Structure 1
Amino acid sequence: MKLLGTTAAYVLVVGVGVAAPATSGSLPSGERMLGHGHAAVEPAYNADTGGLMYLLTPTGAPFPSVSNSHAQSPLYLVEYPPGYSGTLNCMGVPGNCPDHDGIVAGVATGAMPSVYGTDPSAVPGHDHIADPPGAPDFNIAWYVVEVLWTPAAVEADAITHLTTDQQIQDAVDAGYAIKINLGFAFNCSVVPATTYWRGTPVG
């Protein structure tokens, strides 16, 4: 997926950039393209179980999604601050998801500079957390909610790897995180791991 920032809004499209390599023996990280660029696949976490899953976005899908708000499900994008270590779904700026890494890092530095600093290139990356097929609110239209850590989380040394929506809500309830609805929805589907590993790292 690709986020293009403007002063008025953030726009999601699918695009091409440079990706760092990942192997099937490691945690997956970065976008991969299928069908000569006709679809992008990215890793994500199952919001119910915290297990890995994979999201495919066709490059020709309408954007924003033409869907009723009742037919949309949240896709959480958890942004981690400088100093955090670990493999994330998308790493670095421009990183291995260069079509949106910098934009969402810019949201973090703009909204919470006391945690993320003012340099988006210093932000280590983010994860995607979404509802799996069969969940009560699963849909193929997703609205993107960025999750940012707060100064309280830094002070309490409470920044940890979040992989479920319950963990996100617990962090928000504790005052350790906030949610920012980026104001758009897009279409994607959940696909098997083999689909991701068949893809070509972007770039």
Structure 2
Amino acid sequence: MLYTLLGPCDYYEEIRKSRFATFAAPISCVADAQAFIEQASDLAATHNCWAWKLGAQYRSSDDGEPGGTAGRPILAAIEAQACDQVVVLVTRWYGGIQLGTGGLARAYGGGANKCLQLAEKRLLVLRQALACSCTFSELNLVKLRVAECDGLVTEERFTGEGVELQLAVAQEHLPTLQQQLADLSRGKIQLRSSDGPAQP
């Protein structure tokens, strides 16, 4: 089971005179992660190291620390806490004492771990990527039925004939949703598998 955060959280500690501040937040796309890193980074700090994970996508940065001593331990902490759709930034203000590569990895990974442990989380439901077509007059009802099944409308495209929708719906809700859409369209609206990735 995977979890994401209910909201932003932070954690602070001092290790051998270096100050570390860890910030974590939920994200739903790569742009969210980049925006959070830009907003939360302190340009006056010595290092702003980060990692994020979004399904199969992930990235990390050591921001000037020795390779593999910051970004990767932060990413490992995200995975160790069974988190997804999460970004973590650890900012360091150097205090004059070298921590060594092992000490750095423990400081960055440890701060990320503690921050995520303290955070309030919610369970992620894996949703399947689907598509369907409907008329303009059916659109609001289709959206309502999808929302009632805890699904998401990830994209809508207007065409000459109506609307093409990309959806993300949990497997267990598919039979109910298919029946409801068939009922409101006299069997015309059919859910079909989409090429898009499954979405939590």
Interval of TM-score (by shorter of Structure 1 and Structure 2): under 0.3
TM-score, normalised to structure 1, is: 0.25
- Structure with the larger helix share: 2
TM-score, normalised by the number of residues in structure 2 = 0.26
